[in-house]
Structure 1
């Protein structure tokens, strides 16, 4: 049985709409932005907003282990610009507080770009940022999930080794997990369409970080070939990974035991189609 399937959900009409809309598209898991992702502003929620969301979670019988938040686009924890770095840290703190208000236990973060300063510099910068956030807010027990990214623009975190290095150097590593994005991974050269390569990937995650720290999978097809370093998501089965590739990837128990979140282009209706395709693939391999 698969732990969770869902999509990144809109919140423009209110957080309280998310649980019901998740069920309506055939999901039992979701990801949301805790605030406008294109703004530094991440104000605390009114108590009634948080309580209404929690009431709907209970009504729709959704598990908080399948509920995720995604940090804003402006955050760059590796930034060499002090003002931008400080804004990033403060914004991340605010996001952790919003997650706590909602009851969400996992906050997904792109590690950031070193902007030409080099990998070692960027990693140390990210570690410093995470330590500052978690030293202040560790008692809230919101886990930061570092997401693998495509290898472009000075991005850090396009290999499992880089994610592990970031986590290993943090003082609060017990509050740091990871997310694996299939499009980003494929574009970085992880051939998730090959059984042997998937086995190696999962073994590497287990050895360097621990499979128990893999809390979410972003299940996205890729518009570009293996190793292209582009980061362009495609609907499930319509990219270079394809239904056959996802059939290989989804056949692994460690993948099935991790919530699967679709971040493909389109509306709730289109995400419903992606979820149908995922369930069809899982049925074909005898899981659903």
Structure 2
């Protein structure tokens, strides 16, 4: 099992690999900069070199890790200033990911702010095209994350994610992350073997399992279909221990890194990682 958590970079990028091992993980997710700010900068040579050294020393594979884009980015925005700033920041984030020697940059597709799904998808695809055209030699892959269906959000269904991918000019460089809380918000149930199989069938038919790269493993504070986007610690929400058992027992799921974005800091993440391992070990086989 490849599992880790979103980790703080407040002490430096180079501290993240060992901190991940300390909580029982073998992967991690980080922000490339403060997620609530438009401002960002490339790591200097020393910072990048130290990070790569510590990553190699930890044994964590770069392709198992994830960088999460800043929260202000909205490529679906109808406001020209916001759209342009989003493009500029996503462009810089790709460069940060590359400098750190990592591969995957995860971002939320964005909100159309009431202007409609079609227009929003068109703006997202255009933004992706601009950013990737500026980074044609980069090996960084963009990951669209499924989101909760609220506030004009685009990407709560795999059909919407497929439409974004099909509309952009670089489909080979755009893949997906599946967030279990966001999916639960959108009505994707994973609390039985059949439900997980149904989820995977839809992913395969809409975007292809080959594009399904990462998993955000979060419980939900609210019931199925609530569209609230409130993460809960593993086993303490409406997905629950049994739900995660069925989800994680599917061999297709465990082919992908599991990244916790649950409430709390390192001690709580350590407990959640331990809990995930217990869930897979403490339940007997079930076909329910």
Does TM-score exceed 0.5, indicating one fold? yes
**3-state SS in 2 of match to 1:103:** coil
How many Å separate the matches in 2 of 1:198 and 1:22? 28
User: Which runs of structure 2 are paired with 1:246-261 in the superposition (5 Å)?
Assistant: 246-261=244-259
Counterpart of 2:199 (choices 198, 201, 208) is 201
Residue equivalent to 2:90: 92
User: In 2, are the aligned partners of 1:251 and 1:285 still within 8 Å (CA)?
Assistant: no
TM-score (norm 2): 0.97
How many Å separate the matches in 2 of 1:62 and 1:251? 23
Q: Shift of residue 219 of structure 1?
A: 0.3
Residue equivalent to 2:47: 49
> Structure 1, residues 223-280: CA drift from partner, whole Å, max 9, x if none?
0000000000000000000000000111111111010000001010100000001111
How many Å separate the matches in 1 of 2:200 and 2:263? 27
Q: Shift of residue 72 of structure 1?
A: 0.2
> Structure 1, residues 7-32: CA drift from partner, whole Å, max 9, x if none?
00000110000000000000001100
Q: Does 2:129 correspond to 1:135?
A: no
Q: Shift of residue 285 of structure 1?
A: 5.8
Unaligned runs of 5+ in 1: none
> Structure 1, residues 69-122: CA drift from partner, whole Å, max 9, x if none?
000010001000000000000000000000000011000000000000011110
How many Å separate the matches in 2 of 1:200 and 1:168? 23
User: Which runs of structure 2 are paired with 1:146-165 in the superposition (5 Å)?
Assistant: 146-165=144-163
Residue equivalent to 1:59: 57
Counterpart of 1:35 (choices 33, 54, 61) is 33
Unaligned runs of 5+ in 2: none
Q: Shift of residue 38 of structure 1?
A: 0.8
Residue equivalent to 1:271: 269
Further displaced range: 36-45 or 217-226: 36-45
User: In 2, are the aligned partners of 1:123 and 1:165 still within 8 Å (CA)?
Assistant: yes
TM-score (norm 1): 0.97
How many matched pairs?
285
Residue equivalent to 1:106: 104
User: In 2, are the aligned partners of 1:211 and 1:254 still within 8 Å (CA)?
Assistant: no
How many Å separate the matches in 2 of 1:276 and 1:286? 18
User: Which runs of structure 2 are paired with 1:232-247 in the superposition (5 Å)?
Assistant: 232-247=230-245
**3-state SS in 2 of match to 1:227:** coil
Q: Shift of residue 157 of structure 1?
A: 0.2
Residue equivalent to 1:185: 183
How many Å separate the matches in 2 of 1:195 and 1:59? 38
